[in-house]
Amino acid sequence: MAVIDNTISPTGAAFQANRDGMLGLIARMRDLEARTRNASAAAKDRFHQRGQLLPRERVALVLDPGAPFLELSTLAGYMFDSPDPAKSVPGGGVVAGIGFVAGVRCMVSANDSGIDAGALQPYGLDKTLRVQELALENKLPYVQLVESAGANLLRYRVEDFVRGGNIFRNLARLSAAGLPVVTVTHGSSTAGGAYQTGLSDYIVMVRGRTRAFLAGPPLLKAATGEIATEEELGGAEMHTAISGLGDYLAEDDRDALRIAREIMGKLNWDRASHDVSPAKPPRYD
């Protein structure tokens, strides 16, 4: 490829000023991303006491070690949760990006359950819809790590619930296009989250942790008078042995992620076209 000539002087004052300004903006963005990671990591002790991994630990384990991961929409919802720029936690309650799972380039999405129990924020909805569209447009298998308290009812907006149904439609569209949807349900998957689990091609559930039902035991009792435990109503053992919703029963988060990687590894997918060529170094610092 021919080198494009230009008259830019990397040592000029204007270039240096623009460079410093851009690096300052990038540093500000990285600080905001770190704030989101730290907010989620604050729940580490609680997760580990339950024998669970943090959402970003799950993402790291499902991805191929050392392979690139392009995280997307990290600033989604910035200053929507709080008008104070020093307090806002961006990201929309979702970790999403393009990475490699068992050698296959995939779209990976995970509920950030370390923040507000993984409740889907309004701009988390836009983020989820966008990454699903990107997966469909670019023919990427879709891997989702589910643990969510559902929609954030404290920020209820009618239009969000109307548009939220598109998440489930897109899962069906991905499957119809021949793009596998692999889901690990790490914890609660209630109401719309149950559709998120159910509308998948491969479903991995975690013994003693997974919950997938439209309404929990209190609402069941209020509506029908029936009394049932969470496990009886929508636990991993029930769904993998009785209802058939779950395909695989894992012992813990790590085991579930291992199974998800094995599923991707055994798919008849063209891995040769997904090789990553080493990038050439930049011409300038």
At residue 281, the pLDDT reads: 80
- 57-103 per-position pLDDT tens digit: 999 999 999 999 999 999 999 998 889 999 999 999 999 999 999 99
Q: What percent of the chain has pLDDT over 70?
A: 93
Residues in the chain with pLDDT < 70?
Answer: 150-158, 272-279
Report pLDDT for 274. 47
Helices (H), the chain: 13-41, 44-49, 55-62, 122-137, 158-176, 192-198, 217-224, 230-234, 236-238, 253-266
Round the average pLDDT of the chain to a whole number and report it. 91
Position 209 scores a pLDDT of 95
Give residue 102's pLDDT: 95
Q: Is 269 exposed, middle or buried (0-12, 13-18, 19+ CB in 10 A)?
A: middle
> Which residues, other chains included, contact 123 with Cβ-Cβ below 8 Å and sequence gap of 6+?
76, 77, 80, 92
CA distance linking residue 4 with residue 9, whole number of Å: 14
Domains and CATH numbers, the chain: 13-274 (3.90.226.10)
Q: What is the pTM of this model?
A: 0.88
Which DSSP state fits 120?
A: B
Kindly state the DSSP code that residue 134 receives in the 8-state scheme. Answer: H
Per-residue pLDDT at 276: 56
